[in-house]
Amino acid sequence: MGQRKVKNFIIFPKFQITLVIINLIIMTFCFILVFYQIHDSFAEIVTLGKRLRLPESSAYYKVMEYHHEKINLRLLIAAVICYACSFVLTIAVSHKVSGPLYRLKKYFIDMNDEGYTAELTFREGDYYGDLPDVINSGIKKLQK
């Protein structure tokens, strides 16, 4: 990949940032749901201890609180890691979608400004890999 700058991966900011935001909103909703389920489960366990009439100074409650805090901390760490990975992967994949569209737009702008230019090509691994062949053959037909 060479020494690409992060800004080079943001070709169509509106599209790419929208994808990132949608992805992060969905992930946030999922993590909130998981946090709630964990909190609710521990509340039920504490209620069970109260039904058993365990004294509030019991080790039972201290262990439950300790585990609840540990699980929340680990889930928070997992969320941060997932957010970071999701951001990077969403930008990378959206770049593979946006890149060909950017090249196609530039190709037609150049064609409009300068006449027919060289054949349209996309990078290896970009989406819409069959599009350059279709467009190039269509342009050749028009030229005949």
Name residue 15's amino acid. F
Judge whether 2 lies within some domain.
no
Can you give the pLDDT at residue 72? 95
Can you give the pLDDT at residue 70? 97
Judge whether 128 lies within some domain.
yes
Can you give the pLDDT at residue 7? 67
Can you give the pLDDT at residue 24? 94
Judge whether 94 lies within some domain.
yes
10-residue averages of pLDDT along the chain (144 residues): 64 90 96 96 95 94 96 96 95 90 89 81 87 88 80
Can you give the pLDDT at residue 1? 47
Burial (Cβ within 10 Å: 0-12, 13-18, ≥19) of residue 24: middle
Domain of 48 in residue numbering reads as: 10-143
Can you give the pLDDT at residue 41? 96
Can you give the pLDDT at residue 11? 83
The alpha carbon of residue 50 and the mean position of all alpha carbons in its chain are separated, in whole angstroms, by 43
Judge whether 51 lies within some domain.
yes
Q: Could you tell me if 116 and 144 are in contact, meaning their C-beta atoms sit under 8 angstroms apart?
A: no
Give the chain's domain count. 1
Can you give the pLDDT at residue 79? 95
Judge whether 4 lies within some domain.
no
Judge whether 109 lies within some domain.
yes
Judge whether 32 lies within some domain.
yes
> In Å, how far are 85, 113, 141 from 79, measured between CA atoms?
10, 48, 53
Q: What is d(CA 9, CA 95) in angstroms, rounded to the nearest whole number? A: 6
Q: Is the dihedral of CA 37, 43, 46, 52 positive or negative?
A: negative
Can you give the pLDDT at residue 71? 96
